[in-house]
Structure 1
């Protein structure tokens, strides 16, 4: 296995572990590769009964528009109307998974927030930041905020745990 492949696999595994913990859902797993019709990197991620295509990237290249387009293409292969690009944030290791980038188009963030409580949707919008390098209107939010969106505004992690997340 190449060095970059190992790095990508390790990143996907870190995202899986974080989302499993955050959503208290062990069914979230890495997706089995499916040739040229990839369907994202993770499986069993849902939001209000809709599949979510999760594309994970741990690259130094800043080609987020290209990476987002890949996520959208793979969402089509998955028949998913929701997609997110989880990108490794430089300077933030796997011990700070909640601070990683959850990237999507502004309109996609609106779709994720459609059924959220208005006060939570407003809060989530205030933390979203535009990606200046994007020509597609991409924004980012911290992965922990994205996980709270998936968790309908509820606290993250199993109820019996009080794990601190930075």
Structure 2
């Protein structure tokens, strides 16, 4: 079955709402879906903080398919737009609608920032 643009948008909105509601219930009731802002998007869910820094969450419901590279790049752009410390992706897992069972993706750079509370310097390669 192929999704139409409108059915994909509706599925994405439902997924964002489910994740935002779950995080608000479990962590902080100020966590909520954000209004879409176009090219200066600051992520799908806002209000989440850890160790004094904002965390940008980008939600993806692609029917169980994962586009890790592009999604992490998008989360990083939105992290920068929000001047947040961390950008992460929460992706829908096929076969479960439970918000607690979904997949979280982030770079090691963002993992270090999340765990230490400070943005690390870029690694030399």
Number of residue-to-residue matches in the alignment: 112
Any idea what the Cα deviations from partners look like across 1:51-88, whole Å, max 9, x if unmatched?
Answer: 11110001133211101110001111111121110101
Residue in structure 2 matched with residue 158 of structure 1 by the alignment: none
Structural mapping, 1:26-105, within 5 Å: 26-60=29-63, 61-93=65-97, 96-105=98-107
Secondary structure of the 1:44 match is strand
RMSD, aligned α-carbons = 1.5
Report the secondary structure of 1:83's partner residue: strand
Q: What 5-or-longer segments of structure 1 have no aligned partner?
A: 116-166
TM-score (norm 2): 0.83
**Which segments of structure 1 move beyond 2 Å, counting only runs of 4 or more?**
none
TM-score (norm 1): 0.63
* Cα displacement string for residues 91-127 of structure 1 (whole angstroms, at most 9, x for unaligned residues): 221xx32221111012322222226xxxxxxxxxxxx
